[in-house]
Structure 1
């Protein structure tokens, strides 16, 4: 990725609805070479997809819960089945395997406490879990999907 690629990525992270003409103008290219760069960035897996970001409150998903999970089983079979079950739950917005004192962290979006209780019951019924701790977000102070793109950052090549 060169400086122009990084500018394109930064612009698309900020506003993926920009037209090709707007992006090309802002990075100092004509539309055809700009489009080829965007296609190359997509093919390389740098740009994964372009989406609309939604206000969770505006669609009735106003409760965000961070769920810490500890398990007593760390076998690959258990992890594979657990990952399959949890990723299929639509309330789970993010799912991370962690280092440290907890094994997994989920970010869950639900309409209210009653919906979270139903989610929680479904979660603990999926597989045996050692400990599940829920933390409720009272206020979202910062939320972004844009990674900082510095001029001197070199992308990591996919293996």
Structure 2
């Protein structure tokens, strides 16, 4: 898909606040509402805009503790992976889950209210699969958190 400056500006606006009315977005990018609406629909149909969600304050819903969990395994079979993925996906406190390169095989971001709640998550994690090493790091302070992707790399 080809992007022009209008598309990029629309994406910037929607990443900041997707609740704005089309007329508001159109005014900010310098076009009328109907062509702006068509561009938004085209971005959705092309899969550029994948969904619109509400961002919830973690502190206000009592999951203000963030834990980064590094997992190493000595087993790399598809069967093991499917079991591990199923275990992780069944734990709602795991909000991000990545397969990594380097010394760590998997990285998880977990949100919980406290250490005791994390211990319960940890027990569910290790009960579901055989792991070689699990290392947990608690975030002391959130210095930057954004869901907005950088758009300067669009070709």
TM-score, normalised to structure 2, is 0.95
What's the RMSD between the two structures over aligned residues?
Answer: 1.1
CA drift of 1:88 comes to 2.1
Residue pair 2:8, 2:151 contacting (<8 A) in 1 also: yes
**What corresponds to 1:43 in structure 2?**
45
2:7 matched to 1:2? no
Report the Cα distance in structure 1 between the residues aligned to 2:63 and 2:55, rounded to whole angstroms.
13
Q: Following superposition of structure 1 onto structure 2, how do residues 61-100 of structure 1 map, counting pairs within 5 Å?
A: 61-100=63-102
Aligned equivalent of 1:153: 154
Which residue number corresponds to residue 33 of structure 1? 35
Corresponding position of 2:110: 108
Rounded to whole Å, the distance in 1 between the matches of 2:48 and 2:61 is 30
Give the alignment partner of residue 146 of structure 2, picking from 131, 144, 147. 144
Asked if the contact 2:9/2:29 (under 8 Å) is kept, the reply is: yes
Unaligned runs of 5+ in 2: none
CA distance in 1, matches of 2:47, 2:92: 24
In structure 1, runs of 5+ residues without a counterpart are: 155-159
TM-score normalised over the length of structure 1:
0.92
Whole-Å Cα distance in 1 between the matches of residues 129 and 90 of structure 2? 14
CA contact (8 A) 2:97 2:106 kept: yes
Q: How many residues align?
A: 153
For residues 69 and 10 of structure 2, the distance between their equivalents in structure 1, rounded to whole angstroms, comes to: 35
Contact 2:66/2:109, CA 8 A, preserved across alignment: yes
Which runs of 4 or more aligned residues in structure 1 lie more than 6 Å from their structure 2 counterparts after TM superposition? none
Q: Which residue of 2 aligns with 1:24?
A: 26
1:126 equivalent among 105, 121, 128: 128
Deviation at 1:85, TM superposition (A): 2.0
